[in-house]
Every structure is written in structure tokens, then in C-alpha cells.
Amino acid sequence: MYIESEEKLRELYGFPKGRAKNKQLNALEKHTINFIQHSPFASISTYGASGAVDCSPRGGKPGFIKVSNEGCIIIPEAKGNNRLDSLVNIIETRNIGCLFLIPGVDETLRINGSARISTSIEYLRLFTTEPNPPKACIELTINEVFLHCAKALMRSDLWSSESRIERSLLPTMGAMINDQLSLNEEPETQEDMIKRYKHDL
């Protein structure tokens, strides 16, 4: 059995109330700005004209995403694999969602809005101290911003040292991709991959 209408969905779950309903803001304020300034990691979600969806990680030193003003943040587009899935989606639809995490903090910060890709010198100057400064940035104009409760991270126990696994429990990235693509070549070792990645950080 499938639920295919909001009416049926609400019959099952009900409606938000109290703080859950009222906490949504349309601009940053001191607490959400402080959260962004302490966050070293965010995921961004976009979708293209075809409806294809993408969710992509972004990381850097705490505060690597800059607050331009209460209604705008600037996300550096660091050197990657040149798939450009998120950027192409932004060109096509301009819609974006972000989820900010801070290690050790179970609450998260959600921001939804519209985005443009910018090569503005003003924006790029914000990142000139980076080892590999970005060629472009994502300018995100905020429509919705709110703090998300801690339940998901509490359930996952994400920040606990006991939740960490040995990396050896998974094959190396090179080995997994070789299997997926049916390649008969020697896979890149984890050590070589890390060394290569560090050169591009």
C-alpha cells in the first residue's frame, strides 16, 4: 500500500505544531550565523530541469561557507571531479537546499533558497587564503532557514567514537569502482588516493 496524497499523509502523521511549526525563518540571525561560522561540512541538494536530483557534500575549515548578509550565503566551489552535477542543476532550476553539520553537535541547520553561480571578484576574494582557491562560487539567496532537532543524529550516534568503523571493513574506493566498472587493472591503494586528494584540497 502506498500513500499518494498529502491528505493521507497527514492522516498518518498529523501536522507540526508549537516550535516545530513556528521556528522557520526567512533570514539569518545571530544563532544561525554562528552555526554556519562553526560548520566545516554541509550537503547541498539540487535538481535539474529533467527532475533528476543530486545531493553533494561540501567541506572545509569551520566557516568555509561565508555569510554575505542576513539573506545570502556564499559557497565556494572547490576543485572536484568536474562532474558539475550540482552546478548544472543550479543553472537549470536555481533551487537549492543545504544541511549544515558541526562535529559533536546533534542539531543541524537547514537552509533552502535559490542559487546562482558567480565568478564575482568580490566573492572570490573571500577565499584567496585557501590552498586551491575556487574558480566560482554558489550565491544562495535564502528563502527558508531553521534549526533541525537532534533526533536523527542521536539515533545514529554519529559523533560517538564507538560508532566509528575500521576503514578496512570496506574495500578501497579504487577497488569498488573497478568492480562497478568491470575494470581489470590494479586498483589505486587507499594511501595513494589520500596522497592524491591532499594535493587538490
The least confident of 103-112, 127-136, 138-147, 148-157 is 127-136
Residue 131: pLDDT above 90? no
For residues 114 and 76, membership in a common domain is answered with yes
- Which residues are registered as beta bridge partners of 97? 45, 112
pLDDT for 166 equals: 93
- Average pLDDT (77-94) is 94
Do both 150 and 173 map to the same domain? no
Based on the fold, state whether residues 121 and 84 are members of the same structural domain: yes
Q: How far apart are CA 3 and CA 10, in angstroms?
A: 10
- Residue 117: strand pairing partners: 138
Q: What is the mean pLDDT of residues 156-168?
A: 94
pLDDT for 197? 86
Domain containing residue 185 = 165-200
- Give the pLDDT band (50/70/90) at residue 16: confident
The strands making up 108-118's β-sheet, listed across from edge to edge, are 53-59, 41-47, 95-101, 108-118, 137-148, 72-76, 66-69
Q: d(Cα 166, Cα 196) in Å, to the nearest integer?
A: 21
111 and 181 share a domain?
no
Report the b/e string of 34-60 with b at 16+ CB within 10 A.
Answer: ebbeebbbbebbbbbeeeeebeeebeb
pLDDT of residue 28 exceeding 80: yes
Cα distances from 86 to residues 53, 94, 110, 140, in angstroms, run: 9, 10, 17, 13
Q: Which of 163, 184, 166, 165 is nearest to 175 (CA)?
A: 184
Q: Are residues 19 and 89 in the same domain?
A: yes
Query: In this structure, is residue 5 part of a structural domain?
Result: no
Number of domains in the chain: 2
pLDDT at 116: 98
The whole-number pLDDT of residue 17 equals 87
Q: Are residues 23 and 115 in the same domain?
A: yes
Band (pLDDT 50/70/90 cuts) for residue 199 is confident
CATH code for position 84: 2.30.110.10
To the nearest whole percent, how much of the chain has pLDDT over 70?
100
Residue 60 has pLDDT above 80, yes or no: yes
Residue 7 in domain? no
Q: How far is CA 103 from CA 33, 61, 109, 156, in A?
A: 17, 12, 13, 13
Averaged confidence pLDDT in the chain:
95
Is the per-residue pLDDT at 29 higher than 80?
Answer: yes
Residue at 145 is within a domain: yes
